[in-house]
Amino acid sequence: MKIALINENSQAAKNEMIYGALKKVADKHGFEVFNYGMYSAEDKAQLTYVQNGILACVLLNSGAVDYVITGCGTGEGAMLACNSFPGVICGHVTDPLDAYTFAQINDGNAIAMNFALKSGWGAELNLEYTFEKLFSEESGQGYPRERAVPEQRNKKILDEVKKVTYNQDVVDILNKLDRDLVKGALSGEHFLEYFDANAKDERIKAAVHEILA
């Protein structure tokens, strides 16, 4: 599994701590983690939580990654931004229980975390334990297990609903959004390095390069 970490500007200073906790868990499973930044509050490329959603959309729909870990101060804005796009099912996750139940019941491909709230002592432990529960089992098995069948059925229904309500092509979305907003979302220090090495959708790749040209 390929996992992207995306931080927005208000919580950029915590990128190293979040990345360390995520990579520690990912390494145990043999997953790859790509840190798309922001890496510090002084980064030239400044991401808002809205741009987190744009970047998550591009990465997931292009096949550059399989999962996105993102967030903001409360996690709410990043979740709303991610869920504004097709191909993204993002849950608001604050602790290990949220992570486990979201993975097993909702079977999404992104989480948004509250990196400012409850971030005192033990913040790095909560991150590590949360990532452990998020990836502890194969996603989508249901919880409790006797609820697996209706939960899996509802997930498939949601997928079909999103195909109708989010029926705009990703390339069209990128081209219709404010160009500077999109360009800013894709201007991170290592974006093209990681994206070009992993993206599978050639149309999205071409659109991204045209935007950044």
- pLDDT for 108 equals 98
State the chain's mean pLDDT as an integer.
97
- pLDDT for 103 equals 98
Confidence of residue 119 (pLDDT cuts 50, 70, 90): confident
- Nearest residue to 17 (alpha-carbon basis) of 116, 91, 112, 100: 116
- pLDDT for 85 equals 97
Q: What are the residue ranges spanned by the domains of the chain? A: 2-212
CATH node for 2-212: 3.40.1400.10
Residue 124 has pLDDT above 90, yes or no: yes
Mean pLDDT of the region 71-93: 97
Mean pLDDT of the region 48-58: 98
| C-alpha pair distances (Å), 211 with each of 26, 85, 92 | 32, 18, 30
Residue 105 has pLDDT above 90, yes or no: yes
- pLDDT for 118 equals 84
Cβ-in-10-Å burial (0-12, 13-18, 19+) of 2 comes to: middle
* pLDDT tens profile 132-167: 999 999 999 999 999 999 999 999 999 999 999 998
